């Protein structure tokens, strides 16, 4: 299944993609696409309904973040060996964890805002894991039982805040609009091999990132298990899993986003994001 949320900001409705690629309104089946729905009974209700009997969404409706009310928005740093190399950083022995603020969530095609005074705003195409069942001290062998699905994340980052202001990476990761998710949450049964999905990101029509989930250092089951050792993951929580090479910080000379730039962000089978950049 491909689940989503559509409508004006703050008024999104739950939806699903039908066999014709159209958005159907799920409001008569579930209240939203959130942790309560993803924890089991809601997904069962969606699976049991006749999708073709549901009303179509309005043509051209805005797409919101595919998940509502995220509690934990956890990110994994330097999870691709070639990205670590371009960043001049050592491959970590254990996953690097940091937080993105839940308030940074935005729709896949919403405008990305450069923070006031920022100088080094960057892009990162990432695979995001969405939790469907509470996870605490989960064994790696059981970890996938706790996953509701996957989606595209653009882990937008202000590098000066992240790396030059002291403290944790969180400073450069949680600004408003820095967490576009979607367009869809794709359930695991609709993905042939999560470990071999093409990942690309274009800036102003130029391909800058061209990678694959097959080069992730720490894979999905390990990451879910690992994060669950340090916190209780709840249904609807998101873990975004790192980026392949091609970020602006790693270019010679470095290249960063400016107002008017466009980004096209895609992961095979998970959909496409299209964003325009603007000054805050």
Residue 259 pLDDT: 98
Q: Is residue 65 part of a domain?
A: no
For residue 122, which of 230, 240, 249, 236 has the smallest C-alpha distance? Answer: 249
What CATH number is associated with residue 138? 3.90.850.10
Residue 270: domain span: 73-279
Tally of structural domains, the chain: 2
pLDDT tens-digit readout, 1-14: 999 999 999 999 99
Q: Reading across the β-sheet that carries 198-203, which strands appear in turn?
A: 112-114, 271-279, 262-267, 198-203, 206-212
Q: Give CA–CA dist 185/44, Å, rounded.
A: 15
Same domain, 182 and 225: yes
- Over residues 127-137, the mean pLDDT reads 98
Return all residues near 11 (Cβ < 8 A) that are at least 6 apart.
none
CB atoms within 10 A of CB 216: 23
pLDDT of 16-48, one tens digit each? 999 999 999 999 999 999 999 999 789 999 999
């Amino acid at each position: 299944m491909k689940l989503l949320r559509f409508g004006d900001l703050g008024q999104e409705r739950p939806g699903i993609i039908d066999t014709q690629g159209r958005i159907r309104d799920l409001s008569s089946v579930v209240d939203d696409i959130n942790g309560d729905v993803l924890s089991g009974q809601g997904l069962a209700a969606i699976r049991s309904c006749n999708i073709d009997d549901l009303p179509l969404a309005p043509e051209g409706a805005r797409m919101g973040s595919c998940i509502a009310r995220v509690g934990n928005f956890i990110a994994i740093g330097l999870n691709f060996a070639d990205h670590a190399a371009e960043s001049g950083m050592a491959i970590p022995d254990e996953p690097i964890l940091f937080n993105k603020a839940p308030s940074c969530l935005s729709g896949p095609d919403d405008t990305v805002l450069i923070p006031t005074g920022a100088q080094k705003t960057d892009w990162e195409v990432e695979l995001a894991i969405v939790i469907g069942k509470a996870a605490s001290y989960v064994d790696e062998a059981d970890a996938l039982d706790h996953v509701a699905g996957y989606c595209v994340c653009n882990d937008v980052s202000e590098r000066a805040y992240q790396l030059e202001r002291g403290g944790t990476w969180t400073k450069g990761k949680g600004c408003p609009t820095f967490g576009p998710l979607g367009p869809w949450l794709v359930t695991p049964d609709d993905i042939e091999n999560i470990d071999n999905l093409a990942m690309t990101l274009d800036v102003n029509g130029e391909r800058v990132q061209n990678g694959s989930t097959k080069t992730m250092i720490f894979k999905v089951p390990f990451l879910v298990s690992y994060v669950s050792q340090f916190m209780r993951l709840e249904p609807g929580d998101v873990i975004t899993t790192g980026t392949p090479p091609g970020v602006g910080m790693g270019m010679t000379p470095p290249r960063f986003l400016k107002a008017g730039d466009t980004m096209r962000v895609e992961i095979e089978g998970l959909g496409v994001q299209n964003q325009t950049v603007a000054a805050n």
